[in-house]
A and B are shown apart, each in its own frame.
Chain A
Amino acid sequence: MESVYRSHGGVVWRAVLTMAAGDRGVADEATAEAFARLLAYREGVRDPVAWVFRTAFGVAAKELGRRSMVADGAAVVGMVSDVSVLPPDLTSALRRLSLDQRVAVFLHYFADMSVGEVARLTGSPSATVKVRLHRARRSLRESMTTVGGDSV
């Protein structure tokens, strides 16, 4: 399982970091927890890579939801803390997306995965992944139009 960590640990961590819009604490927590569970339950896991991705996303979603509630329901946008280790423009763009859209954007545009691979790793239908990517692009276009007064 350590080989899985070596080959995919960084990608998993960055995927969760993107999902958390730059919140390093969530990325550390979810990645460590997902790999620890993979080590513990490895005998029953058939596809360790997909399994660890989905587990990490699940742990991160829970953690983000918990933090959101602690923040007194301070709007969905506030599902992440203000502390981000990512550049401000990226953080701002990610915060306009849902958690699923952030994951799809990361896996497709950063990890260069096909729509089918993204679907496999996230456990979603390909059509759903396409819709998420489409909405992510539209969101980015709208934000750039608003900021720059022109479309990209």
Chain B
Amino acid sequence: MSEAWRDLISAVEDVEPPMDLWTEVVRREGQMAPRPTSWRVPRWGIVALAAAGCAAVIFLLALAAHSRSSSPGPATSQHAAISPSQARVELAAVPHLRVKVDTKDRTSSCTTVPQRPGGTAVPLRYSVSAVDTRMPAYPGNSDRPFIEALVFPHISEAASCYRFLRASDYTTTVSHHGQPLRQVKLHPKRVGRYTLEIYPHKPGQPGVPAHWTGQYDLVILNGHTVVFGMSHNAAHAALVEADGIKVRDIIGD
């Protein structure tokens, strides 16, 4: 049957295409809209482009991994400080420090700035109260130098607390008999890395313990944590600052 087809189809040979077909081709080609010059990316170009893309992705991933491991974390609500139970264990090992960790505490310490009287107490993740046994206790234990650490759920709350506490070293509210409350500017003097001296006076002032020479306020901000302390002479202030730094380092962030 193949030969039958060959015989049949050979008749096509007898038919000739029109003589002017090429002329028609050229005429049609001339009528076609000019095609913009097509450019084709060479094969090696595509390969190079793909390789460069892969390299760029790898570089960006490496950069992201590096920055994640080497830069401080963003200001988020993630807790970086150690847990209360860990804090209890680790702070108990610090010499001379008697520590109490409270997980149900709320603080109004951060609302003592005159502009924010009676502000709402802020719930804490936990708080740490510490005293240094090298410093004397007085009747009622009220005037003993102390260190306190407040661990907040959010970094922003810690930062606000820090600002309030530090601001209270620069202004205060005073009242004289029969006079309305008024704000008074203070002029603190820096006596340590984190400690300011306010109300300085000579020892032996009437109405205060003999060894007092002023008020020494310590405030440290570290992520979610604010460490603050108070003492009443320079020697105790140095101890409080050293203790505060230890507490800050142990709680971490």
Decide yes or no whether A65 CB sits under 8 A from chain B.
no
What is the CA–CA distance of A43 and B21 in the complex, to the nearest angstrom? 22
**A39: nearest chain-B partner, CB-CB:** B29
Give the nearest-CB partner of A106 in chain B: B9
A110 touches B1 (CB 8 A): no
* B210 contacts chain A at the CB level, 8 A cutoff: no
Which residues of B line the A interface, CB within 8 A?
Answer: 1-2, 4-6, 8-13, 15-18, 21-22, 24-29, 32, 35, 37-38, 40
Judge if A26 is at the interface, Cβ distance under 8 Å. Answer: no
Check: A89 CB closer than 8 A to any chain B CB: yes
A80 CB within 8 Å of chain B? no
List of A residues within 8 angstroms of B9 by Cβ: 18, 90, 105-106, 109-110
Whether A90 and B8, one on each chain, are in contact in the complex, defined by CB atoms closer than 8 angstroms, is: yes
Q: Is the interface of B mostly helix, strand, loop or mixed?
A: helix
Task: Give the docked Cα–Cα distance between A136 and B22 (Å).
Answer: 32
Can you list 27 residue pairs at the A/B interface with Cβ under 8 Å?
A9-B17, A13-B21, A18-B9, A27-B17, A28-B24, A31-B21, A32-B25, A35-B29, A36-B25, A36-B27, A39-B25, A40-B29, A40-B35, A43-B37, A43-B38, A44-B38, A44-B40, A87-B11, A89-B8, A106-B12, A110-B6, A110-B9, A137-B2, A140-B1, A140-B5, A141-B1, A144-B4
B26 touches A39 (CB 8 A): yes
Contacts of B17 in A (CB 8 A): 9-10, 13-14, 27-28, 31
Q: How far is the CA of A18 from the CA of B9 in the complex (A)?
A: 8
Chain A nearest Cβ from B3, distance in angstroms:
9
Closest to A136 in B: B5
The CA-CA distance from A15 to B100 in the complex, in Å, is: 100
Q: How far is the CA of A152 from the CA of B4 in the complex (A)?
A: 8
Residues on B with C-beta less than 8 A from A110 are 6, 9-10, 12-13
For the complex, give the distance between the alpha carbons of A47 and B18 in Å: 25
User: B1, B4, B35, B40: which contacts A41 (Cβ < 8 A)?
Assistant: B35
Contact B8 A40 (CB under 8 A): no
Which residues of A (2-18) have their CB < 8 Å from a CB of B?
2, 5, 9-10, 13-14, 17-18
**Chain A residues near B28 (CB-CB < 8 A):** 32-33, 36
Whether B4 contacts A14 by the Cβ 8 Å rule is: no
Find B22's partner among A5, A41, A43, A44 (CB 8 Å cutoff): A5
B84 → chain A closest CB, angstroms: 73
CA distance A13 to B19 in the complex (A): 12
- Which residues from B are CB-within-8-Å of A87? 11
CA–CA, A111 and B153, complex, Å: 86
* B37 proximity list for chain A (CB < 8 A): 43
Interface residue? A86 (CB, 8 A): yes
Does A93 reach chain B (CB closer than 8 Å)? yes
Residues of chain B with a CB closer than 8 A to A109's CB: 2, 5-6, 9
A74 at interface (Cβ–Cβ under 8 A)? no
Contacts of B24 in A (CB 8 A): 28, 32, 36
